[in-house]
Amino acid sequence: MDNVHDVSVYTPSPQRAEELLSSIGQSKALSVLETMYTIRAFEEKAEELYSLGKTHGTMHLSIGQEASALGASTAVRSGYDYLLNHHRGHGHCIAWGGDPNLMMAEFMGKETGYCRGRGGSMHIADVRRNNLGANGIVAGGIPMAVGVGLSIKMRGTDQVCLGIFGDGAANTGPFHESLNMASIWDLPVIFLCENNQYAMSMAMTRAFNIEHISQRACAYNIPGVTVDGNDYLSVYDVISQAAQRAREGQGPSLVESVTYRWRGHSRSDRQLYRTRDEVKEWQAQDPIPRFAARLIQAAFIDQAGVDTIKTRAYQRIEEALAFAEASPEPDVATIMEGVYAD
Amino acid sequence: MLTETIKETKPAAELRQLTYAEALREALRQAMQTDPTVFLLGEDIGVYGGAFGVTAGLIDEFGLERVRDTPISEATIAGASAGAALAGMHPVGEIQFMDFVTLSMEQLVLQAAKVRFMFGGKASIPMVLRMPAGSGTGAAAQHSESLENLFVHIPGLKVVMPSNPYDAKGLLLSAIYDGNPVIFVEHKLLYKTTGHVPEEMYQVPLSQSNVARQGRDLTVVATSIMVPRTLEAAAKLSEEGIELEVIDPRTLNPLDDAPIIESVVKTGRALVVHEATTTGGYGGEVIARIVASQAFDYLEAPPRRLAGLDIPIPYNRNLEYHTVPQVENIVEEARKLVRGAY
């Protein structure tokens, strides 16, 4: 990865893909596939629960974007490195090693949830594992990612901070301030822009006058790469390089992961701004079967094995639901807790 | 590490005198000397020494990394402080003029203030954001604001306004180690005022109101520069037999209101004096607490507020002077309250 701003969309050559799979290894690769299915299952269940009236509020589903979450999370050391993401973040949390029980409990507003039911779908954090939370404000977490990077640099550890946001965030002021600041200070931050083509209803092509959001990197003299976000290996490869660069003290990178959100922005979205054909075209590039096909081709697994993994993932979410449903609601007597640290 | 509030008994002339700015600088220096996680960031705080000289010379002692000049990026100064605090540091950010904190609002109000609660009390943000407020420097409407009440309204933030050098040092040290995001509001006209400041590292506890003067006739709750102005007014009124009791909340939120209520029970009269505009100002909050308390039964006159006119700060020297309460205004208002004019 260098400072040349290539306008192509990166995807590894067949030979490179083979090398990557071989270095990842069968066990980890199968675990990645299972986690992708777990994310899909979690979000399908979330959608179902919402439709049945079992949850309230809103939610932002990342169905169709699972490869990006996994590619990024597995290219760094989740639990040691840091994550900040935004409100389409169920997938990131699970990919980071989050416990689906605690996530489902949070989604249902239960006391046993990650945030004791105070955060909900939009604000899940797993602080113990350095997942510093999902943010409901577009770009709201980007300046904090700079601060985390600054902390890492000043403490002198070899951690990195993965900051994930959407295409809409790249047009906000804090995005520019933050990438500039991270660049001038060579901070170990990976800015991952998941370009799912729409900021709510505003198409990326209408909101930007550039072809790729990664081109913005040139303004900060940092590497900018666009990758096929529906291909696990593409994201994994580029984020790995960005992480290495960050650990070596060479500073931040901007990675644009080109993907697509299959569902509406949130529950209220009637999706009048796009056609069904467009959605179908992207659904044909479903990242999960794409990755499964790679694994079958590499002889890591056969189709029957894939089906078993998928079944297990969906079963895992049923267990998470059972845990959440059996969990208590927060006690109203505790309503004031957590505003201030004692 | 820190000693409790200390009260010295030596005659005033023998006690070490520092300016308010020097007291703040000493707090920063001592915190940085004893704790490597404390660092400063802000615009022109390095070689320049800060727009009002508070950080002058600290860069020589602590270097570029810990006295970190930033680009003009107020959102990210606040956000990076929050992020660094989330990841184990104790940042002290500086906003060059309080007016500019409006550019940081999202990071403070939606992020720093809410992260802890939103994440179920499982994260904390031990950060301080210092900023000079106030008029009287001829800097007109965009460099003279007193916006503290915007932050008083936000649960999760603490708001501190020292009125003298002793409190400036002790409150700043408390704020750094408080474990919560603290908005630390200094006053430009106080920077050169002098007072006794012990050399040792001491804390003035947050949320502890100070009875700055005892008196029987009227309780005056004053903040920031209005404390010395009220004390001056009190000295004048004493000559005509009117004795003011002056209370300096020091921490506006969470407010220690017990001494205020107790005082009004004693005096039967209350006046709140602040520089910020009247409508929606802090005076309303203080008066609401007084009239909702047992002090209501002891009131001999309606509680009053004397605050800035509801206008932007004008440039013209005379207009500027007449925009905010001055000593003679306090004398007049206090006299009217005590003499039964209302």
Does residue B35 sit within a domain? Answer: yes
Q: For chain A, say whether B81 makes contact (Cβ under 8 Å).
A: yes
* Chain A residues whose beta carbon lies within 8 Å of the beta carbon of residue B88: 151, 155
Do B124 and B253 lie in one domain? The reply is no
Do B38 and B153 lie in one domain? The reply is yes
Residue A268 has a pLDDT of 83
> What domains, with CATH codes, occur in chain A?
9-325 (3.40.50.970)
- In chain B, the number of structural domains is 2
CATH code, domain carrying B84:
3.40.50.970
Do B64 and B95 lie in one domain? The reply is yes
Comparing A342 with B179, the larger pLDDT belongs to B179
Do B148 and B188 lie in one domain? The reply is yes
The DSSP secondary-structure symbol of B206 reads S
Distance from CA of B244 to the nearest CA of A (A): 34
Do B50 and B170 lie in one domain? The reply is yes
Does residue B79 sit within a domain? Answer: yes
Across the range A205-233, mean pLDDT stands at 97
* Burial environment of residue A269 by CB neighbours within 10 A (0 to 12, 13 to 18, 19 or more): middle
Provide the CA A139 distance to its chain's centre, in angstroms: 14
Q: Which residue of A has its CA nearest to B104?
A: A174
Do B172 and B221 lie in one domain? The reply is no
**3-state SS of B254-279?**
CCCCHHHHHHHHHHCCEEEEEEEECC
Residue B11 has a pLDDT of 63
Instruction: With beta carbons less than 8 A apart as the criterion, state whether B79 and A146 touch.
Output: yes
Distance from CA of B79 to the nearest CA of A (A): 5
Number of H helices, E strands in chain B: 12, 14
pLDDT digits (tens, 9 = 90+) for B47-100: 999 999 999 999 999 999 999 999 999 999 999 999 999 999 999 999 999 999
Does residue B205 sit within a domain? Answer: no
Residue B1 has a pLDDT of 41
Distance from CA of B216 to the nearest CA of A (A): 35
- Cβ–Cβ below 8 Å for B117 and A144: no
Q: For chain A, say whether B109 makes contact (Cβ under 8 Å).
A: no
Do B56 and B137 lie in one domain? The reply is yes
Band of residue B12 on the pLDDT scale cut at 50, 70, 90: low
Do B214 and B192 lie in one domain? The reply is no
CATH code, domain carrying B261:
3.40.50.920
Residue B273 has pLDDT above 50, yes or no: yes
- Cβ–Cβ below 8 Å for A341 and B83: no
pLDDT digits (tens, 9 = 90+) for A240-272: 999 999 999 999 999 999 999 999 998 888 899
Output the six-digit token pair for A34: 């299972």
Place of tokens 């973040």: A89
Window from A48-57, A320-329, A330-339 with minimum mean pLDDT? A48-57
Does residue B203 sit within a domain? Answer: no
Last residue in a domain, options B170, B196, B222: B196
Reference A278, options A188, A205, A187; nearest CA is: A205
Do B143 and B285 lie in one domain? The reply is no
pLDDT digits (tens, 9 = 90+) for A95-109: 999 999 999 999 999
pLDDT digits (tens, 9 = 90+) for A24-58: 999 999 999 999 999 999 999 999 999 999 998 88
Domain of B273, in residue numbers: 210-338
Distance separating alpha carbons of residues A299 and B296, to the nearest angstrom: 82
Residue A340 has pLDDT above 60, yes or no: yes
Does residue B230 sit within a domain? Answer: yes
Do B221 and B280 lie in one domain? The reply is yes
Residue B14 has a pLDDT of 78
CB burial readout A147-162, b (16+ within 10 A) else e = bbbbbbbbeeeebbbb
Distance separating alpha carbons of residues A320 and A138, to the nearest angstrom: 29
Looking at chain B, the whole-number percentage of residues with pLDDT higher than 70 is: 96
Reference A206, options A261, A263, A166, A167; nearest CA is: A167
Last residue in a domain, options B168, B196, B224: B196
- Cβ–Cβ below 8 Å for A341 and B80: no
Instruction: With beta carbons less than 8 A apart as the criterion, state whether B274 and B249 touch.
Output: no
Distance separating alpha carbons of residues B296 and B342, to the nearest angstrom: 16
Do B322 and B288 lie in one domain? The reply is yes
* Chain A residues whose beta carbon lies within 8 Å of the beta carbon of residue B122: 114-115, 125, 127-128
Residue B9 has a pLDDT of 58
Reference A173, options A134, A204, A198, A138; nearest CA is: A138
Output the six-digit token pair for A288: 């999960």
Mutate to test the interface with A, among B117, B160, B183 (most CBs of A within 10 A): B117
Band of residue A148 on the pLDDT scale cut at 50, 70, 90: very high
Could you check whether the bond before residue B254 is cis, i.e. omega within 30 degrees of 0? yes
Instruction: With beta carbons less than 8 A apart as the criterion, state whether B223 and B146 touch.
Output: no
Show which residues of B are catalytic: 143
Do B75 and B180 lie in one domain? The reply is yes
Residue B7 has pLDDT above 60, yes or no: no
Does residue B148 sit within a domain? Answer: yes
CA neighbours closer than 13 Å in the CB half-sphere of residue A44: 14
| Beta-bridge partners for A166 | A194
Sheet holding A82-86, edge to edge: A9-10, A224-228, A253-258, A189-195, A161-166, A82-86, A131-135
Mutate to test the interface with B, among A178, A181, A340, A342 (most CBs of B within 10 A): A340
- Cβ–Cβ below 8 Å for B80 and A135: no
Of A123, A132, A177, the CB nearest to B76: A177
- Cβ–Cβ below 8 Å for B83 and A133: no
Distance separating alpha carbons of residues A125 and A39, to the nearest angstrom: 16
- Cβ–Cβ below 8 Å for A146 and B120: no
* Chain B residues whose beta carbon lies within 8 Å of the beta carbon of residue A125: 118-119, 122-123
Residue A234 has pLDDT above 90, yes or no: yes
Residue B8 has a pLDDT of 54
Last residue in a domain, options B147, B167, B196: B196
Q: How far apart are the first and last CA of chain B?
A: 51
Q: What phi, psi does B201 have (nearest 5°)?
A: -80, 110
Does residue B6 sit within a domain? Answer: no
Band of residue A1 on the pLDDT scale cut at 50, 70, 90: low
Does residue B167 sit within a domain? Answer: yes
Element (H, E) at A335: none
Looking at chain B, the whole-number percentage of residues with pLDDT higher than 90 is: 96
Residue A303 has a pLDDT of 98
Reference A143, options A115, A113, A180, A118; nearest CA is: A180
pLDDT digits (tens, 9 = 90+) for B125-137: 999 999 999 999 9
Residue A240 has a pLDDT of 98
**Averaged pLDDT of chain A:** 96
Q: For chain A, say whether B124 makes contact (Cβ under 8 Å).
A: yes
Q: For chain A, say whether B311 makes contact (Cβ under 8 Å).
A: no
